Structure 1
Amino acid sequence: MEDDTAKDPDIKPLVSETDLSNALRHLEILLSSQPSPALPQRLVSPILLPLWALTNFAKSTGRSTWYERTILLLRTYIKTSPDESALQKIQGRILYSGGEAWEFGPGSEGGIEIRFRVGGAAGFDLSKADARVQEFLGLLEDDGVSGGVFNDFFLRILRVWLGRRNSEVEDPVEMFTTLKILQEVLGRYEEMLAKNPTQILQIVKGVLDEHMEYLEGLNTSAEAVITPSLDGLGKIISNSPPPYLKADGGGEELGEENERTQTLTMALSLLSVIISNPTTKLTHLDERLIQILQPALAHITASKFTNPDIKTLMLNITSLLTLHSPSTNSPSSPTTLLTRQKETYLLALSYLRDPLIPVRAHGLHLLRELILSSSPVINIQTTLSQLISQLKDDDSFVYLNTIKCLSALTDRHSGSVTRMLVEAYLDNEEEGQGKLSLDQRLRLGEALLATVQRLGGALVGETARLLSEAMISTASSRRRRHHKHTPPHDPPKDEEGENPVAAAEDERIRTSALSILGAAIETNPTGLGSGIISNALDVCVSILTLETAAEGATLRRAAVVCISGVLKALVGGGGGGGSVEEAGVGWREGVWEVVRERVSVIRRVVGYLGVTDGDGLVREQARVVMENLEAVVWVWVGRGGTSVAVGGGMLGNLEGVVGV
């Protein structure tokens, strides 16, 4: 909520700032004077959600004194709760901000008051939801709840999330926040989960059994198509790909497949936490459950309908499960290597949290050695979260070594690495309330660039689409990031009301996004598709048309280089050799149709830059692109047999300029 409503003198509070502060003070006195654990339950329970809303309002508006008072009341109540009902109540209404007719607002003396709600409740805000999730998780830290209450709460919300497909009425906001909480708990509280493995193993078994039935249904459908018949002759050619490859489809089938993949990934992550954590104490029943899980894992791994990333994760878990088989648990079985790798992995993660730079660097070295050795003890979600947090480090030695770790991890888990890096790179920029500084986002951009170059020809499908759309979104429009704490003396604004410092930051992140997009186009253009190429060209032309100031030179350079990458792809300049047929005539024809519609625009815009731009490098790049454009037009209009030779010769001149 913005803090500008206090400027309106016509707003009459329902409860004044003074009265609300006094009410909190009375509650504080009662709780401190009577240390009975039953008293917080009687006093706070009826006002739990309003107290939660007040806490978040105080924090979001920078009222630290109010926040410290309310969060202490909340933690006292949560800590004395006998079960998980208090946590469940907050989690179910985590975005609660007030009643239908009232809300919290800034008080006249800098505090908080209760007033009539104006304009109804606000819509869903992604950045607000993320902040609420983090605040909720803070209630669990520092022994905020007992281990039993924590496990009961986790298992309850896990069952709710896993059963979402069977629910008649599903609240998408609640499911979103529930998933965020589950993911955070998996990354932060592994040891607490490992203390109660039995129920988690039973849930994992249920998920695997249900997924096996789903795969058997797909196999049955596929066999029906293959059965010889006159009706089936036409289906042999048009046999549909596995569900996870239907990236262009948008229907219910793809949505269901994505849900199933999410569910299976969550179950496998839980299983990995249980079997990889050295503090896990397995009972005889737990050992039996683990033995029962292995055939299901093998069946799902062997299925042609299983996503490749899921298969990789399952193979790692299968390797870990051998530790719990009867043969490997015998005294004569050599398990020292995996045990040693477990200890090294936990040591590396603990080193990453150390304040000393050399210690963190050594932790990165240990982690990279485990990744390069394809160790099965690596937990992908936890490792990625830790590595992304290391990219925020200001020390170049730390974040450069982090990029090396991410590049190594890309070889085995390209989809997961790319997805998490893209999410961190975007940093809620649509809402303008990101948590990262510009330099931190640029370092994430370096990691993404290294990931793209590492993927090479494997940059295809959903991974390529997700990356390209995110980079186009970032590069296509100006976004101003509104920081919560502004310095007392802001830089002067220009005549159009733009902050020059913010404008320079905006251009740097857009240049970064264009550079990553250009690298993706040059690395594997066939993996992106004509639709992505079309959008990329439109963004580049718009930038070259609108961003004419001297400060935008680097952004224009990136746009010109991106256009050149498309032209190189059309004539095979960056395709890694071979003939036109080997590089994919069908794909190139689709891209040529995109370029042909824009030839006159590119000629006009880029040609004008080649003569008039104030930046010498932009002029040089623009002139070379003009030559290459004419080569592309000549090749595709003439359709001569020397198309590759001519295009390769012309585009060879650009590589020395573009590679600067």
Structure 2
Amino acid sequence: MIRTELTSTLLAGSCLLDSTSTPQNNLKGALIERLTTYYATLGVSSSISDTCTLEEAQLRTAIESLCIVERIQGIISVNNGSTSTEEPPLLGVRDLAQIRTLLSISFHWGVEPLLSRIVSAWPERPNVATSNVTQIIDLTTMPEDYHRLSDLTSRILRLVFPAGPQQKSSNSLITEALLNRHLKDIFEPAIALGWLPKSLASDSMPPLEDARPFVMRLLGTLPVSQTIAALGGVISTRSSVQHVRRACGYLLSRQLLRPDGIRGLCAAIFGESEGDDIKLEQLEHVSRTLSMVPANINPQDYFSAIIPRLVDLLHDAKSIAFRRASSFTISRLLTNIETSSPAPQIILSTLHFPFLHVSSPGMAGGSPSFPDVAYALSSLSILLANSDPSPKLISTLLSPIIAPLYAVMHHLDSSRTSDPSTREIVHDTIMTWFRVSAAEEAVATLMFILDDQDGKLELGFDGKIKRAERISDPLSLFTPESLRQAEETGQLESGANWLDLYPDPVRFVGFIQSINRQDIISNFFVLVLEAYRDNEKQNNDPIQTLRYLQVIIQMQTFLSNDSKLGGFQDPVQILKFIEQVLEDSQRHPNQTSQKKEDFPSRLAQLSLEEDRDTMEEGEDSDDDMVDSEKRDIGTEMTETALIILLSVLEGNKALSTRTTPILSNILLLLEHLITGDSPNGIKELAREVRLVLTARLAMQNAPNFKDDEDSHQRDVQKVYQQALKLLQDPILPLRAHGLLLLRQLVSPSRSEQFKAVDPALIPAIQDVFMQSVQDNDSYIFLNAVQGLAALVDHGGAPVLKRMLDTYTCGIDGLEGSSMSQQDLDTRLRLGEATGIVVSRCGTTLGTHGNYIVPSLLRVLRSSNVPTALKMSALSLLADCQKTYPLVLLPFFGDLSGGTLDLIQLETRSTEFATTIEDEPTSKNSKFPGLRRAALHFMSLLLKGTIENIYDTSFRRSIYSEDLIRRTKLILSYISDTDADVVVRVMAREALELSKQLEYAIIDPFAVG
């Protein structure tokens, strides 16, 4: 029975659609024909006439379509109140398609035209005219149209809630089709009539108050995304009607305040959009919608409700669009909203609460109503990752919590059980802030962290932060026994945080290094140096002094590994600080010996003053400890000052002794460091600074290019300028290349350039070479040696004299007896350069012999110089003999007799356990290398004399019979008794040459 009724009803509905008939061009006639067939099928008389208009035919079709849908709803509904036990029939696919078409006709030809005519008759007009055609509205039909629309709207709402808005909704497929396809079409008339203001209502057109509970019930039961999309559609299509727009805004805000309101808004706007499909207009729509506070809601209450949900939406791992929308909205609320809005304060309070509300040791941290640290960190990270890289946003979000964030990072880095992902988020968040923040703010924050003695925090297992317990008196940590144990276990080694300082200096400086911003690093370093100096002068808290000192030492280590520290905003200020440090090192040369004890040991000693009388008799003080030779504060400050000076010079290319007078004073202080008993590291740094200043001054004093100059001269000047520029570079290969360019510039092999070098440039070039000879890098000092040798060919005797003066300087005084390895290496390298010069001179060596040979004899006769330097002198004499023997003729007697004396006196019958390579600065003349060098020179003297006797260049009497006899006797003895095999072989070779010399003297064919 039910099935038959359903079939007949569907058949009648198909007449309204007339899907089987051919299309007709006359729509009104077609509709009248369909309605006539429809009424005939139902067995009722037709009430439609041919005189009706097209609009009336369409409206009648819409009304009858809704009637068919209502009858079908009543047949298939399980809640129709029927007592029949027959199961309700099921609808097929074609049946559902027919019902959907009927519903569309009801809205398209019924609800929409009626609503459009009614809205057009209301006194309110659109803000923007959409058409220039004036519409004529028939106001006489308005009451009838209004009642028809009200009736249609009520009937449609009853399809959803057959028993009323307070009862359950229908679960039929018709209801599903209505809600899924026509929710906006339902809301349009229901809101327009249900929320009709009194100004527009009348007795003939009363508000449809019954529609309100239906709409509110729909808004409360349907998904938020669906209702928001429908309400948004109503606003966009009927935005010219003020009361509709106002009512939709109110209802929309109510939907947003639902627990899943914001998520529903995003779902309605983005739909299936993900990743690259997200448009800026969609993000702005979400932000604009959530930023507008409803008129009847307190802004504080509104933002307090939606902001925690926005933060929660940041963690939606399923939708990229939702995260971006939430991030975009929060960023706009923070940066673009009015200053009077409570939104920024609520956002920051929500995100910052776990970091700023810290409990005391032993108490539970945080508040259960606020998220824990991990959640807040994740929120900040996601927010920054999905927002525009705005410095203002980053500063607003992170500036108030950088100090506690660093404390959390410090704790996570110190704990082996910390979550790696949390640790990475904290580090990335802090680094993001430091990369975009102003240098002044960043430096002030770093100093605040360094000075905050109560800033150390701990992260509990409950995810809350609490303040770490402080050591009440860290200076009383060590007793003599515990101090000894701490030294044995390495707790007092450099870099060890043995006082549990916060921040840990090693990690703190490592973090500053990772910031990789030179302006922050340099300015912070200057502030720490000044703070340390002031703290020392005022004798303030020793723990704070130690904290500054440890940071300085660690930064010095960092700077020594990477000296590219530049960007000092006030070079003169830092230069004054450097000058003061260097003056202190010169003014108090014994300060090092007075402060040899390790600083931790001195602090521990302060805490043990009262127990000094109880120490065991005979126990030595800290001065005799193994650690007593550690670097003192003055040494650390001096080395740090030199590193900073290099950095300042690199960052300020215009600074030189010519433009900045204070650098002249610093250069004099550098000479004191280089020539004094400073550590090798300080000497090396001082030499590097001196080379940079020398090259920079030479570069600024060089003549400018002139248009009328020869092309070769211009090329030489360009190479000269380029070489000096490279010599100032901190990168060693570039500095070495600059030295190579200078060497090539004065090389005789390049005759054109060699001739074009301005003689006025020679002193500066020689200064560079003389300083580079002292460098520890082999490539640099070898190029310097070659450069000096080439420079003698161009500069002549003055260049060679300066080399020899440096070679023999101070060998008779205290300097010679306490010659360092570096000083010895410098002299040996100058000797190597002199040897190259000697080999190149040929017969012109005679012009230099009057100051070369005496200088070398002075070295041989000195008892203070190392044996290696005497070997160098003998080697140079041998080079002179090989190059031009006549240069030694005036000194022949002294040289031959002195060499024999040396061989005779320094012979040794037993071997040394050590070699000269083991003790390069040793003055022990018994090393076999010295005898080898002397025998080599003696052999060259004998061989050269023999050759020259036959060439009649020498007189036969130059070697007397007594000298020959003595030579043969000594050489014979050495060849039999010396402990060194090489010495014995060389002695036999020289002995053979002495015999040949004797034959040459008595040879009657020899002329002389």
Same fold, TM-score > 0.5, yes or no: no
Q: TM tier, shorter chain? A: 0.3 to 0.5
Larger radius of gyration: 2
TM-score by structure 1 length?
0.39
Higher relative contact order (CA 8 A, sep 6+): 1
TM-score by structure 2 length?
0.27
